[in-house]
Amino acid sequence: MNAKSRLCRDALASLKESHVLGRGWREPSIGIVHLGIGNFHRAHEAVYTEEAMLAAGGDWGICGVTLQGDVTKRDALMAQDGLYSVVERGPDGVKTTVVRALLEVLAMPHDRIRLFELLANTNVRIVSLTVTEKGYCRDPTSGDVDLAHPGVAHDLHNPDEPGTVPGILVAALRARRAAGIAPFTVLSCDNLSHNGAALRQVVCSYASALDTNLAAWIEREVAFPSTMVDRIVPSTTDADRDAALSALGLRDDAPVPCEPFRQWVIEDRFPAGRPAWDRVGAQLVDDVMPFELAKLRMLNATHSTLAYLSMLGGFATIDEAMSFAPMRTLIHAMMTHEIAPTLTVPRTFDLMAYRDALLARYSNPALKHRCAQIAMDGSQKIPPRLLGTISARLARGESIARLALCVAAWFVFLRGRADDGSTFSINDPMAARLASLVESAGNTPEGLIDAMLGCREVFDAELASSKTFRHELIAAVVQLNKGARAAIEHAALQP
């Protein structure tokens, strides 16, 4: 296949109208810098942003930044002038759409000079992030920046050559303050409770370690709206590249697969302006918390449940797991009886309809969302997704058996071995610590539970001391030791 057949800006005119979001496109200037240019951002915020520019104009082109030191993604996307296709897989078939809002891609630390040129540019009014919980370099106990984090320690000693998220944001805000330029809005799009407030605390505590006056200015002048984001976006496969080639007649080395569903709820605090996201389906609200909690507890918690039980029981993808009738029964009951009763939502938010939509999305046979992908970073995901719900139900003396099964499945998963004897690696920022805890636990359920509940980075002392919680976890591990599928069947039969 020759170079002329690659997806690029010059080839846009050859595309069918159905393969772009709209024909009234003009090239914008860069107005958003996005840290963490992964698949999710490219299937979510970037799509909303392009649609918003088509609907209402504005210079909101995106510069995406990868923070991992690997130039592969940068080079693949820039070889295509920033273009890529979104391969939307639903029950009714596959829809392929080329996205044009991504204008430039940078890779840290290689492109540091260019990144800070953009962050100092008055046209850049939003810096958004999808870096996952571990990218915040956050002390899970205090919520402040983790001063013991090697990257944070480096950045504090080398504040003009930062590599971490808080280091980059503070260096850029410090430069804008010194130049008399209004600050950009910092927009977290990560699955983290109170994500805007959490990021604000990290950034301000990092800034305090450098300059208390700078920290006070950031706290006073910089907006950190919270958001709730939702779209299932698996990793890219060769099948997605083949689908893009078949639909477009052009080679796309960086397509993004996703489901048709998408949701974005945003606190409307943007002093320097924003795209017209509300014109294209995003919900702009005063308080995102009710929506965030519903998503964290209903979707993210059950996603983790599916992932850990599936890794043990031999289901490779979420739809495969949902085809096992007892698993579907378990997830339905978990949402209905243990999670939904802990939520207070606006009257217009029908939790049972939301539950049914989630079950349908999980069962989408076209998506092939890998359980191994969802199982990553459990130490960061378990607390916001599950432990708040468990604490709320324990406080009311209510059952937590299904919720405890998910936590117990994570414990057993950390052994790195499925029921059929196959092994897998643990991808987690605390992997070494977790491995040490599991190794020290011995072979009894009680040993495993006590070792893991002693991990204060995940479990606070109050929850860890709950006799009910410990009892339910032990009971769940006993069932899981008989096999994950048997444990799922057992849980599905519970009232």
414-443 pLDDT, tens per residue?
999 999 999 999 999 999 999 999 999 999
Q: Distance between CA atoms of 362 and 369, rounded to whole angstroms?
A: 9
**Residue 407, SS3 per DSSP:** helix
Mean pLDDT computed over 450-468: 96
Contact 34, 108 (CB under 8 A): no
Residue 189 predicted with pLDDT over 50 = yes
Q: CA-based angle 34:141:197, to the nearest 5? A: 40
Look at 4-18, 151-165, 237-251 and tell me which has the smallest mean pLDDT. Answer: 4-18
Q: Give the other-Cβ count within 10 Å of 23's Cβ.
A: 8
pLDDT of residue 60: 98
Over residues 53-80, the pLDDT tens digits come to 999 999 999 999 999 988 999 999 999 9
Residue 2 predicted with pLDDT over 70 = no
Q: How confident is the model at residue 201 (pLDDT cuts 50, 70, 90)?
A: very high
Residue 4 predicted with pLDDT over 60 = no
Over residues 121-152, the pLDDT tens digits come to 999 999 999 999 899 999 988 999 999 999 99
Mean pLDDT computed over 155-166: 97
Q: Tell me what percent of the residues of the chain surpass a pLDDT of 90.
A: 93
Of residues 427, 45, 77, the one with CA closest to residue 258: 45
Mean pLDDT computed over 30-45: 98
Instruction: For the chain, give the mean pLDDT.
Output: 96
Q: pTM score, two decimals?
A: 0.85
Q: How confident is the model at residue 246 (pLDDT cuts 50, 70, 90)?
A: very high
How would you write 15-80 as a 3-class SS string?
CCHHHECCCCCCCCCEEEEEECCCHHHHHCHHHHHHHHHHHHCCCCEEEEEECCCCCHHHHHHHCC
C-alpha distances (whole Å) from 56 to each of 20, 42, 183, 262, 280 are: 17, 20, 24, 20, 10
Domains annotated for the chain, with CATH where assigned, are 8-285 (3.40.50.720), 289-492 (1.10.1040.10)
Report CA 294 to chain centroid distance, whole Å: 15
Residue 3 predicted with pLDDT over 60 = no
Q: Distance between CA atoms of 425 and 435, rounded to whole angstroms?
A: 11
